[in-house]
């Protein structure tokens, strides 16, 4: 019998908790959301998406590799202040995640695997009159579980 876990649910929750806890530990007033927010007031972070690779080995064993994409919005443009805040946050957050590799569950792993800046990101789900250009960073957190 295959062991079932709600791994995507656990990964989203872990990403939100890791972002929230790390921001609190460095006294950053980061607003963190489980999904795209209705409005953005930097600095803000949210789960932008969740993708997963499934690898079946047998009828009773498979590997699950979900990836949470967390977007952190720093401000209107990549000023010196914004990039300094971004650099310190990313360096510290990646170490924070590495030290909490079971954040998505006791029999799972989570790690930061990719970081990319998007200096001209626009929240395209908002009404056109509410859309602005933001400087943001996308962090990919990859999970691993064998079920």
Per-residue pLDDT for 2 more than 70? no
Domain at 39, CATH number: 3.30.70.1700
Tell me the residue range of the domain where 81 lies: 7-146
Average pLDDT, integer, range 57-71: 86
Residue 2 lies in a domain: no
Residue 49: what pLDDT? 96
Residue 1 lies in a domain: no
What's the whole-model pTM score?
A: 0.92
Residue 78: what pLDDT? 77
Q: How would residue 147 be classed by pLDDT, with cut points 50, 70 and 90?
A: confident
d(CA 141, CA 139) in angstroms, rounded, equals 6
Per-residue pLDDT for 117 more than 70? yes
Total domain count, the chain? 1
Residue 111 lies in a domain: yes
Residue 83 lies in a domain: yes
d(CA 35, CA 48) in angstroms, rounded, equals 6
Max CA pair span of the chain: 55
Rg over CA atoms, the chain: 16
d(CA 17, CA 12) in angstroms, rounded, equals 9
pLDDT, averaged across the chain = 92
Q: Which residues contact 86 (CB under 8 A, 6 or more apart)?
A: 72, 74, 78, 117, 135, 137
User: Terminus-to-terminus CA distance in the chain, angstroms?
Assistant: 10
Tell me the pLDDT tens digit for each residue of 77-88: 878 888 999 999
Average pLDDT, integer, range 81-106: 95
E strand or H helix at 89, and its extent? helix 80-99
Q: Which residues contact 97 (CB under 8 A, 6 or more apart)?
A: 18, 103, 110, 111, 112, 141
Average pLDDT, integer, range 120-136: 93
Are the beta carbons of 113 and 23 closer than 8 angstroms?
no
Average pLDDT, integer, range 100-110: 95
E strand or H helix at 110, and its extent? strand 109-121
Q: How would residue 76 be classed by pLDDT, with cut points 50, 70 and 90?
A: confident
Per-residue pLDDT for 15 more than 90? yes
Per-residue pLDDT for 121 more than 90? yes
């Amino acid at each position: 019998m295959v062991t079932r876990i709600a791994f995507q649910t656990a990964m989203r929750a872990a990403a939100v908790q890791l972002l929230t806890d790390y921001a609190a530990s460095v006294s950053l007033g980061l607003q963190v959301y489980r999904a795209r927010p209705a409005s953005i007031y930097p600095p803000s972070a949210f789960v932008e998406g969740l993708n997963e690779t499934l690898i079946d080995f047998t009828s009773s064993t498979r590997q699950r590799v979900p990836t949470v994409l967390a977007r952190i919005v720093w401000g209107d443009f990549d000023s010196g202040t914004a990039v300094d805040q971004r650099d310190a946050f990313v360096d510290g957050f990646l170490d924070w995640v590495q030290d909490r590799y079971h954040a998505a569950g006791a029999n799972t792993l989570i790690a930061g695997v990719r970081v990319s800046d998007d200096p001209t990101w626009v929240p395209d789900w908002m009404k056109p009159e509410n859309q602005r250009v933001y400087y943001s960073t996308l962090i990919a957190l990859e999970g691993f579980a064998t079920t």
